């Protein structure tokens, strides 16, 4: 059984989660998220070990965290290799992203290593603050406090920093490696951005030839960035399916917009999906305002839903978007009919820079099947329910078990905000929850390519969209 404890530190409150398998999560809480601190004497032996090790670290015990048992079984094999190597970087030392990539035997995968480092679940214990750019330059830091927290930790460990750059002799010696020859192979990250319900998830599933993203006709089906990997003979295109930008009304909305913003910052190319059936709205114009600050050769205007509008409507919509994004290349597609998909792929192959294969050829995502299943359950519920109800839903998969015959058993909880919503979701004589289950099961079976037994229950978590602790548990907390 997993336990959660809250511990003091010079940086603020630390939240740690652990089970008999080891500590699985350690993070720094936002300043506006106070939690009652645990007394060391009230903790079990494992909790005391964690608390004492952390206290010793902040007193400059350079070996304090080395003996803690960690549990990183819930991350991908690639991330595990990065974290295992990173944990060997000792107090007082630093490493570049490129050197870390070499350490795991993938010298051309520095970019993928960077993404893994950014998703580190164990602050301090897996010392991601010790990873720097070439020449000691500071890069982004996803923990609370950002770069300031990273610099504080490095100074604690004896490093000297000036103007966001480590100036220790070791860091100063590091230089950029020579650019390797990739033999004409191209690779990179493509952010799929656009208004809610622009068709980003439908397109991603079409591009990969299999479902990995939950899809419904309702906007805001996607809440978190989702990574999809398409490997062709000429390129490896890594798609970042982003939530649609919208006006923030709660902490969940702030997180959703932040996810889209992070994807824009990380991407080599930005595919802006514009709906061919309608003129640009306020949300489109807000996003275009961000894109206008970027160079035109990094943006691709993709006019979607060509099958749903007449020629005149399509022409007017396209002209409106081109006027707002002058000089940007334009493609026309329909993810539903597959029209224009081949041209889109070949265009991205051409536009991406030369680079390595970051992932094995047969890998299509970094997400676990259980996480994809949760999104498909939520998408099925959104599709079945009316009005505002769909946006009050969150889904957690509690059990994801492969049976001896290869079938999957999945137990999941759907959370709503109010008791009245619970009755609506269950429906008369349980009919609504049954329909949602049938629809979700079919989607998960198509994704997993095997038989699925799905059991759903409904729980109330009041005002969860503004509950920082619940959002963090669900992976929906905004990183700063």
Which amino acids are annotated catalytic? 128
CA 228 vs. chain centroid, Å, equals: 11
Q: How far apart are CA 118 and CA 259, in angstroms?
A: 13
Q: CB-hemisphere CA count at 13 Å for 189?
A: 21
Cα 255 from Cα 228, distance rounded (Å)? 20
Percent of the chain that is helix, strand, coil (3-state, to 5): 40, 20, 40
Whole-angstrom Cα distance, residue 258 to residue 449?
33
CA torsion through residues 248, 249, 254, 260, sign: negative
> What SS3 state is found at 325?
coil
Question: Who contacts 56 (Cβ-Cβ below 8 Å, separation ≥6)?
Answer: 64
Residue 340 has φ and ψ, to the nearest 5°, of 80, 0
Strands 235-241, 226-231: pairing kind: antiparallel
Distances (CA, A) of 463 to 220, 382, 467: 18, 18, 7
Spatial separation of the C-alpha atoms in residues 373 and 434, rounded to whole Å? 16
What are the tokens at 338? 């597959």
Single out the residue of 128, 61, 120, 117 nearest to residue 94, CA to CA. Answer: 128
Q: How far apart are CA 448 and CA 454, in angstroms?
A: 13
Q: What is the dihedral of CA 278, 283, 284, 286, to 10 degrees?
A: 150
Q: How many CB atoms lie within 10 A of CB 459?
A: 12
In the block, which residue shows the tokens 């259980």? Answer: 370
Contact 190, 240 (CB under 8 A): yes
Pairing of strands 269-275, 186-194: parallel
Cβ neighbours of 89 (radius 10 Å): 19
Indicate the SS3 state at residue 109: coil
Q: How many CA atoms lie within 13 A of 468 on its CB side?
A: 11
Q: Give the three-state DSSP class for 40.
A: helix
């Amino acid at each position: 059984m997993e336990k959660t404890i809250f511990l003091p530190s010079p940086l603020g409150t630390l939240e740690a989660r652990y089970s008999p398998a080891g500590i699985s999560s350690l993070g720094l809480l936002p300043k506006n998220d106070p939690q009652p601190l645990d007394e060391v004497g009230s903790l079990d032996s494992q909790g005391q070990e964690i608390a004492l090790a952390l206290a010793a670290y902040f007193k400059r015990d350079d070996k304090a965290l080395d003996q803690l048992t960690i549990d990183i079984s819930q991350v991908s094999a690639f991330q595990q290799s990065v974290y295992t190597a990173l944990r060997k970087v000792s107090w007082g030392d630093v490493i570049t992203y490129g050197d870390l990539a070499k350490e795991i035997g993938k010298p051309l995968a520095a970019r993928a290593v960077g993404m893994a480092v950014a998703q580190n679940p164990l602050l301090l214990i897996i010392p991601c603050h010790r990873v720097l750019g070439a020449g000691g330059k500071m890069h982004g830091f996803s923990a609370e406090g950002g770069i300031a927290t990273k610099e504080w930790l490095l100074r604690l460990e004896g490093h000297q920093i000036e103007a966001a750059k480590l100036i220790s002799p070791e860091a100063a010696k590091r230089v950029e490696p020579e650019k390797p020859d990739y033999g004409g192979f191209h690779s990179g990250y493509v952010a799929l951005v656009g208004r809610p319900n622009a068709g980003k998830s439908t397109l991603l599933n079409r591009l990969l030839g299999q479902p990995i993203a939950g899809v419904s006709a309702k906007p805001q089906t996607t809440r978190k960035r989702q990574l999809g990997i398409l490997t062709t003979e000429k390129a490896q295109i890594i798609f970042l399916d982003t939530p649609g930008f919208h006006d923030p009304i709660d902490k969940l909305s702030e997180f959703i917009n932040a996810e889209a913003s992070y994807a824009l910052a990380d991407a080599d190319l930005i595919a802006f999906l514009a709906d061919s059936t309608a003129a640009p709205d306020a949300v489109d114009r807000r996003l275009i305002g961000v894109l206008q600050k970027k160079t035109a050769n990094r943006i691709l205007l993709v006019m979607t839903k060509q099958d749903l509008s007449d020629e005149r409507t399509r022409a007017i919509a396209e002209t409106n978007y081109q006027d707002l994004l002058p000089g940007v290349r334009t493609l026309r597609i329909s993810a539903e009919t597959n029209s224009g998909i081949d041209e889109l792929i070949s265009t991205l192959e051409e536009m991406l820079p030369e680079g390595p294969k970051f992932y094995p050829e047969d890998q299509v995502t970094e997400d676990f099947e259980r996480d994809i299943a949760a999104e498909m359950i939520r998408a099925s519920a959104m599709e079945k329910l009316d009005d505002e109800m769909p946006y009050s839903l969150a889904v957690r998969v509690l059990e994801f078990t492969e049976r001896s015959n290869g079938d999957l058993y999945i137990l999941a909880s759907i959370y709503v905000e109010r008791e009245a919503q619970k009755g609506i979701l269950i429906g008369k004589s349980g009919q609504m929850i049954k329909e949602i289950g049938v629809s979700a099961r079919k989607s998960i079976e198509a994704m997993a390519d095997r038989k699925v037994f799905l059991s759903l229950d409904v729980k109330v978590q009041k005002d969860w969209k503004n509950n920082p602790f619940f959002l963090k548990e669900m992976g929906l907390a905004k990183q700063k």
